[in-house]
C-alpha cells in the first residue's frame, strides 16, 4: 500500500474544495493518505463527510511563522515566506516519514516554496513529489495576456525552470493554459513535458427549474440576473457592478445577485445609498455566507450571466469555469488569464471595471439579449469541456502512478538554462 502525503498551508478560497477533489482520485483509494494542514482546514464543511479518507496531521505554526507567511509586500518578505514554508514542509515530512516511509508527496499549492526548491533541494528529500502552481506570471506578455509586466520576469522564469530540474519532481501541474502554451515554444522539450495543464474543475450540477430557483431567492421571473459569487471582496469589482446597476442608464430588468462571504469593506459599502436603492427596487439580493453545493445549483439556475469583472486579478478563475461549464455567459475583465480566454473562446463580454461605461454597455446588452445568452452559453460549454472533476482526478492519478515507474534522469545543470 502506498503512503501519500498531501500538503497545504492555505485553508480558504478554492483550497478546501480542491482538497476534496484530490482525495477522491482513484490513486488514493488504496493508499494510506496523510493530509498535513492547519487545523482550520479540517473544520471546513468541504471535508466533513470525507474525514475517513485521510489521516489528519495538524501543522502548528509559531507566531513568528504566522507573521512571515502573512507578509508579501516586499521582495524580502516573499523570500522569507518561501524559505519559511520550505522549512515547515521539511519538518513535517521528516516527522511523517520517520513513522513510516512516504512514497509520494502532493502539494496542493506548490507556490508555497517552489522558488526555495529551485535554489536548494526538495523539502521531501528523495521522495517523488508533484504540486499545482497558480501564480506564474513571467510569461504573460509573450502570450498576449494583458497584465502589468513584472520587473523580475526573467528571474521568475529562471527560477521556475530551475525548479523543473529537481530530480524528484514528477511534474508540475498548472491551472493556467497560457503557461503550457508558453512552455511549448520557449522551454526545452523535457522541461515542457514536466509542465502539465490541470484544468480547473467544478461541480457539474443538474440545475433545478429557473422559475423555482428565482422564486426561492425572491427574484422577478423576467429579470436579467448577474451573479457575483465566491468571496465577495473589493478585488471582485463589486463596487463598479453595483454602482452601474443603480445608475439611471441601467435597464430596470437588471438584477444583481451576490452570494458568498462578504469582506468588511463590502458589507459597509452595501449599507450605502447605491445598494439601498437597488434593494428597494428588488434588484439586489445578497447572501452573506458560505454556499453549499445544493445552494450553488439554485444560484446557477437563477442566473443569466456571471460577473468576473475583477480588479487587478490576473490568474485563472474557478468561478469563470463554474459558469462556463453550465452554459452561463460571463462578464469578464479584459485583463489577465480570464480576459485572454474570453478573447480566444468568445463566451461572453469583456468589461473594464475601472471604466463604468464598459460595464453599463455590457449590462445594456445583457438586458436586450439579442441571442447573446444562448450563443455564448454554447461556446462556453465547448471551451471548458475538459474542466471536469473526473478529468482532474484522472490526471492526478496518472501522475502519481507514473512517478513510481520513472527512474531519475541526469539533467543539465541549472546554470545551463537557455
Q: Domains, the chain, ranges and CATH?
A: 2-201+388-408 (3.40.50.2000), 210-383 (3.40.50.2000)
Looking at 145-149, 223-227, 292-296, which range is the least confident one? 292-296
Instruction: Enter the C-alpha cell of residue 50.
Output: 470525507
Locate all alpha helices (DSSP H) within 246-387, ordered by sequence: 264-270, 273-280, 293-302, 318-325, 336-345, 356-368, 372-383
The candidate with the shortest Cα–Cα distance to 89, out of 16, 37, 137, 49, is 37
Q: Taking 70 as the threshold, does the pLDDT of residue 264 lie above it?
A: yes
Q: Quick one: pLDDT at residue 371?
A: 67
pLDDT at site 414:
43
Is the predicted pLDDT of residue 11 greater than 50, yes or no?
yes
Is the pLDDT score of 73 beyond 80?
A: no
Band of the pLDDT at 413, cuts 50, 70, 90? very low
| pLDDT at position 99 | 97
d(CA 150, CA 380): 30
**C-alpha to C-alpha distance for 161 and 275, rounded to whole angstroms:** 48
Q: Please report which confidence band the pLDDT of residue 150 belongs to, taking 50, 70 and 90 as the band edges.
A: confident
pLDDT tens for residues 80-101? 999 999 999 999 999 999 999 9
How much is the average pLDDT of 306-323?
95
**pLDDT surpasses 60 at 225:** yes
Question: Residue 262: which of 238, 279, 242 has the closest Cα?
Answer: 238
* pLDDT given at position 409: 38
pTM for the complete prediction? 0.89
Across 51-78, average pLDDT: 91
Q: Tell me the pLDDT band of 27, cut-offs 50, 70 and 90.
A: very high
Percent of the chain exceeding pLDDT 90 equals 83
Buried b (16+ CB within 10 A) or exposed e, 146-180: bbeeeeeeeebbbbbbbbbbbebbbbbbbbbbbbb
Intra-chain end-to-end CA distance of the chain, in Å = 41
User: What is the per-residue pLDDT for 42?
Assistant: 96
355-368 per-position pLDDT tens digit = 999 999 999 999 98
Q: Which of 159-163, 268-272, 379-383, 406-410 has the lowest mean pLDDT?
A: 406-410
Check residue 410 and give its pLDDT.
Answer: 38
pLDDT for the residue numbered 370:
60
**How high is the pLDDT of residue 292?**
83
pLDDT in tens, 161-179: 999 999 999 999 999 999 9
Mean residue pLDDT across the chain: 92
Stronger pLDDT, 72 or 46, i.e. the higher one = 46
Grid coordinates belonging to 63? 507566531
Instruction: Return d(Cα 336, Cα 342) in angstroms, integer.
Output: 10
What per-residue confidence (pLDDT) applies to 306?
A: 97
Higher pLDDT, 405 or 146: 146
Amino acid at each position: 500500500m502506498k503512503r501519500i502525503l498531501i500538503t497545504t498551508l492555505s485553508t480558504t478560497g478554492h483550497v478546501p474544495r480542491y482538497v476534496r477533489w484530490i482525495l477522491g482520485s482513484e490513486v488514493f483509494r488504496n493508499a494510506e493518505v496523510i493530509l498535513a494542514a492547519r487545523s482550520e482546514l479540517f473544520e471546513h464543511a468541504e471535508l466533513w463527510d470525507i474525514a475517513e479518507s485521510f489521516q489528519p496531521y495538524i501543522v502548528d505554526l509559531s507566531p513568528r511563522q504566522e507573521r512571515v507567511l502573512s507578509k508579501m509586500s516586499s521582495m524580502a518578505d516573499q523570500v522569507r515566506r518561501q524559505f519559511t514554508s520550505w522549512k515547515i514542509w521539511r519538518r513535517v515530512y521528516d516527522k511523517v516519514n520517520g513513522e513510516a516511509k512516504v512514497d509520494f508527496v502532493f502539494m496542493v499549492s506548490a507556490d508555497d516554496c517552489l522558488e526555495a526548491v529551485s535554489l536548494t533541494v526538495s523539502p521531501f528529500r528523495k521522495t517523488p513529489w508533484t504540486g499545482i502552481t497558480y501564480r506564474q506570471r513571467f510569461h504573460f506578455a509573450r502570450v498576449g495576456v494583458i497584465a502589468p509586466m513584472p520587473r523580475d520576469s526573467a528571474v521568475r522564469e529562471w527560477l521556475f525552470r530551475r525548479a523543473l530540474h529537481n530530480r524528484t519532481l514528477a511534474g508540475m501541474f498548472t491551472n493556467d493554459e497560457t503557461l503550457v502554451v508558453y512552455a511549448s515554444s520557449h522551454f526545452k522539450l523535457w522541461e515542457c513535458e514536466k509542465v502539465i495543464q490541470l484544468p480547473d474543475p467544478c461541480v457539474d450540477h443538474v440545475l433545478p427549474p429557473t422559475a423555482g430557483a428565482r422564486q426561492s431567492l425572491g427574484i422577478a421571473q423576467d429579470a436579467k440576473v448577474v451573479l457575483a459569487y465566491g468571496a465577495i471582496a473589493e478585488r471582485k469589482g463589486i463596487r463598479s457592478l453595483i454602482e452601474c446597476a443603480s445608475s439611471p442608464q441601467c435597464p430596470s430588468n437588471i438584477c444583481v445577485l451576490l452570494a458568498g462571504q462578504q469582506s468588511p469593506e463590502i458589507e459597509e459599502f452595501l449599507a450605502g445609498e447605491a445598494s439601498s436603492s437597488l434593494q428597494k427596487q428588488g434588484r439586489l439580493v445578497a447572501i452573506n455566507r458560505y454556499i453549499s453545493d445544493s445552494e450553488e445549483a439554485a444560484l446557477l439556475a437563477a442566473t443569466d450571466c456571471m460577473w468576473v469583472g475583477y480588479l487587478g486579478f490576473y490568474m485563472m478563475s474557478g468561478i469563470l469555469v463554474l459558469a462556463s461549464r453550465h452554459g452561463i455567459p460571463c462578464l469578464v475583465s479584459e485583463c489577465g488569464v480570464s480576459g485572454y480566454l474570453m478573447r480566444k473562446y468568445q463566451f461572453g463580454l469583456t468589461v473594464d471595471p475601472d471604466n463604468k461605461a464598459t460595464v453599463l454597455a455590457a449590462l445594456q446588452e445583457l438586458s436586450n439579449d439579442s441571442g447573446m445568452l444562448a450563443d455564448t452559453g454554447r461556446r462556453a460549454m465547448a471551451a471548458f469541456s475538459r474542466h471536469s472533476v473526473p478529468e482532474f482526478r484522472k490526471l492526478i492519478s496518472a501522475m502519481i502512478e507514473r512517478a513510481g515507474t520513472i527512474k531519475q534522469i541526469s539533467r543539465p545543470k541549472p546554470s545551463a538554462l537557455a
